[in-house]
Amino acid sequence: MAYRFNRLRDISNRLQDVVKMQSRLAATATEDGMKSNRSLWFALGTLAAGGLATGYLLQPNVKAADLELHPPHFPWVHKGPFSSLDHAAIRRGYEVYRQVCAACHSMDQLAYRHLVNVAYTEDEMKAIAADAQIEDGPDDDGNMFSRPGKLSDHFPKPYPNEQAARAANAGAYPPDLSLITSARHGGEDYVFSILTGYEDPPGGCTEKEDLYFNPYFPGQYIAMAPALYNDVMEYSDGTPATISQMAKDVCTFLKWAAEPEHDDRKRMGMKALTLLGMLTFASYYYKRHKWSVLKSRKIVYRPSPHS
Partner 1 sequence: MNLGRTIYNALFRRTSTFVVTIVVGGFIFERVFDEGMDNVWENMNRGKLWNHIKHRYAEDADEADE
Pick the binder of partner 1 from 99, 154, 263, 295 (CB under 8 A): 263
101 is in an annotated binding site: yes
Which of positions 46-85 make contact with partner 1 (CB under 8 A)?
Answer: 77-78, 82-85
Distance CA 151, CA 113 (A): 5
Least Å from the CB of residue 93 to partner 1: 13
Q: Between 120 and 213, name the residue whose CB sits nearer to partner 1.
A: 120
Is 246 assigned a ligand-binding role in the annotation?
no
Looking at the Cβ atoms of 150 and 166, the one nearer to partner 1 is 150
Residues 269-298 that bind partner 1 (CB under 8 A): 270-271, 274-275
Q: Is 224 one of the annotated binding-site residues?
A: yes
251 a known binding residue?
no
Window of 11-19, 114-122, 146-154, 191-199 that interacts with partner 1 by CB under 8 A:
114-122
Can you tell me which of 31, 32, 123, 261 binds partner 1, judged by CB under 8 A?
123
Q: Does 108 bind partner 1 (CB under 8 A)?
A: no
Residue 13 is a binding residue for partner 1 (CB under 8 A) = no
Give yes or no for a cis peptide into 138 (omega within 30° of 0): yes
- Residue 51 has phi, psi (to 5 degrees) of -65, -45
Residue 24 or 271 having the CB closest to partner 1: 271
Q: How far is the CB of 66 from partner 1 (least distance, A)?
A: 36
Which range, of 185-193, 218-226, 267-275, 293-301, touches partner 1 by CB under 8 A? 267-275
CA gap 255, 156 in Å, rounded: 20
**Residue 167 engages partner 1 in binding (rule: CB under 8 A):** no
Instruction: Answer yes or no: are the C-beta atoms of 125 and 151 closer than 8 Å.
Output: yes
Task: Tell me the binding residues.
Answer: 101, 104-105, 224
Catalog residues that contact partner 1 under the rule CB under 8 A.
77-78, 82-88, 91, 117-124, 263, 267, 270-271, 274-275
